[in-house]
Structure 1
Amino acid sequence: MTSPRRIVLFGECMIELRGQVFGAMRQGFGGDTLNTAIYLTRLCADQNLRISYATALGIDVFSDYMLTAWRAEGIDTSLVRRLDNHLPGLYAIQVDASGERHFFYWRDTSTARSYFDASSTPLEDAIGGVSMLYLSGISLAILPPDGRERLLSALARVRASGGQVAFDNNFRPRLWPDLAQARALYDRAYALSDVVLITLDDEMALRGETSAEDALSNVLALPIPEVVIKRGVQPTLVRIAGREPLTAPVEPVAQVVDTTAAGDSFAGCYLAMRLTGVEPAAAARAANRTAAAVIQHPGAIIPLDAMPTRNALLAPTPSAPV
């Protein structure tokens, strides 16, 4: 049996508090790329892939719990840095009656920000064996300038070593006080990427665009081999370089419970399918089905017994009655 391909996801995971303000709060953890790593791992359990998560955590009971939980999911944690006198970031989440989320963050001193505060890191040392490196706009946003440069350099080195880079545009304006800087860094990340997952609303906010039609045209013209465009309730588009865009229907949901991790689970499923040979349109359809399952449960990570199977995700769409 050949050695497993190594897929690395980089980002930040924080302590989560969910519940009533000054009432009962349930503790958990979450972060966009960590959520993606979990769904990717669950859908690739028997696919000869090694899913690694790279971040920084403290030496404390909360960090210990996170690592134990990630390992239980099958995620490799050998690229995690443990830093003394640091703690993970913290956020509280409120969900309204329609399932929409409202976040409150305490992340200015989050340990993940310090991942590159060393002459070398486990991620950089492992570059030669990385088949794909995945990050998001949030991964870039939380790092200080030197850390961003080190991460972008890591992307370039992965590609130079024959690996691929995947980037999710996940744009959060409050993390970017300088919009021009954000645009410049996104452009650099796009230029280094083989696969880009774009939420069109996020791209419009980043670019200051008011026309969805113009934004879509600009995204489709990006010189990136594979672009996936999520457009809310409209069909997802996949544009492979040199081909006409493909469409994948959005899965209808009777009742939305919590939209947390809808995009993260989409990314995890899409990459899981593409990494294991599934064609783009079928991968996007499966990813929409995964997101539909996730938003019918509270929290970012749904129970294992609620996970759709690969066979169910890849089943053909039933034909409409004539």
Structure 2
Amino acid sequence: MTARDLAAERAAGSDRRVLAVAGDLVEDIVVWASEPVHHATDTAARVHRARGGSAANVAALAAALVPTRFVGRVGADAAGDALEAALVASGVDVRVQRAGRTGTVVLLVDVDGERTMYPDRGASAELADVDPAWLDGVAWLHLPAYGFEREPMRGELARLAALAHAGGGAVSVDASSTGLLEGLGVGFALELIGGIRPDVLFANEGEAELLGLTGGGPAAASVAPTVVVKHGALPTDVIVGGRLAARIDVEPVTGIRDLTGAGDAFAAGFLAAMLRGADAAAAALAGHRAAASVLRNPGAHATGDLRVNES
């Protein structure tokens, strides 16, 4: 059964179309360099503060398209209050634990739009003992691999995936970061992902190469029934059962300033389309449109209404 069949089967005859995303909700401090970086001295820049976290980004962007729930943890502090309120204002059903200190990620974005990230995940990484009722009505659970960095969150996300599967829901994983995968160890990362049994795995070309998934084959088939490999401005590969099923062109985007959140936006558009009955190729097109919407803004914040472009 393909991921499309799975999503359609679970949506048919039911009011359940809720997408749940579990992971980080943090404050992003986005530094846009106004000139080439001068190491060990001053560089002119603009500084933006924004609601961030890969999981929260996906939830906020998907909420305009399908009912969306966020599951995570923030600090019992003013920053946590503000982040929770911002996510609620995006239309997300927010379920968060409150304890400890809210996390922060500093993102340095060079003049070409490429970014270097300094994450301090704070309370987000302490997610544990989630109430199973927080997954009630969920048709699809999405997990960015940032949550696999360390315990207790690593084990908790695996438990939530098992609960989602047991309840008849689909699960997806985003490989998230080559630095994260290298820190975990490629073998261990593959073991973690395999244990979660995702229906869809998202990876960019660097992550796919590191995990041995480029071009498909038995390795890709063993990790997930559907593997989606993004190549930036080049076509996206949709690999089903270890074989290349589609290669989807990316429409050119002008005025790119910040790549932050493009992968999260792609996942939001893709998963929303799947839950609305699209096949993986059409879902990839929806993912491209969603990704394009964030490329001119600081952090993962869309320009315009994503509902205008959905189809």
Out of 160, 166, 184, the position equivalent to 1:160 is 166
Task: Please tell me whether residue 82 in structure 1 is matched to residue 98 in structure 2.
Answer: yes
Compare relative contact order (CA 8 Å, sep 6+) and give the higher one, 1 or 2.
2
- In the other structure, the counterpart of 2:200 is 195
Q: Which stretch shifts more, 56-65 or 174-183?
A: 174-183
Distance between the aligned counterparts of 2:253 and 2:90, measured in 1? 27
Q: Does 1:186 align with 2:193?
A: yes
Q: Which runs of 5+ in 1 are unaligned?
A: 315-322
Structure 1 runs of 4+ off > 6 angstroms?
20-24
Letter in 1 for 2:262: A
Secondary structure of the structure 2 residue equivalent to 1:8: strand
- Structure 2 equivalent of residue 259 of structure 1: 259
Which residue of structure 2 aligns with residue 34 of structure 1? Answer: 56
SS in 2 for 1:42: coil
- Look up the SS of the partner of 2:63 in the other structure: helix
Q: What code does the residue aligned with 2:20 have?
A: V
Which 5+ residue runs of structure 2 have no aligned equivalent?
1-12, 34-41
* Mapped partners of 2:47, 2:243: distance in 1: 49
Cα RMSD (Å) = 2.6
Cα offsets for 1:59-116 (capped at 9, x unmatched): 2111111111111111011x21111xx1111122221111111222333xx1012211
Cα distance in 1, alignment partners of residues 189 and 223 from structure 2: 19
User: Match of 1:317?
Assistant: none
Check 1:60–1:273 CA distance in 2 against 1; reply closer, same or farther (3 A cut).
same
Task: Give 1:54 shift.
Answer: 0.7
Maintained 8 Å contact 1:9/1:135? yes
Aligned equivalent of 1:318: none
Residue matched to 1:274: 274
Measured in 2, the distance between the counterparts of 1:237 and 1:178 equals: 25
SS of the residue corresponding to residue 143 of structure 2 reads: strand
Residue 249 (str. 1) matches residue 249 (str. 2): yes
1:91 corresponds to: 105
Residues 67 and 178 of structure 1: CA distance in aligned 2, closer, same or farther (over 3 Å): closer
**Aligned pairs, number:** 287
CA–CA distance in 2 between the matches of 1:102 and 1:15?
A: 16
Report the CA distance between 1:241 and its aligned residue. Answer: 4.1
Cα distance in 2, alignment partners of residues 174 and 156 from structure 1 = 23
Q: Flag the 1:28–1:126 CA change in 2: closer, same or farther, 3 A.
A: closer
Q: 1:154 to 1:264 in 2, by over 3 A?
A: same
TM-score computed with the length of structure 2 as normaliser: 0.82
Q: In the alignment, is the contact (CA less than 8 A) between 1:14 and 1:31 conserved in 2?
A: yes
Pick aligned residue for 1:100 from 114, 130, 140: 114
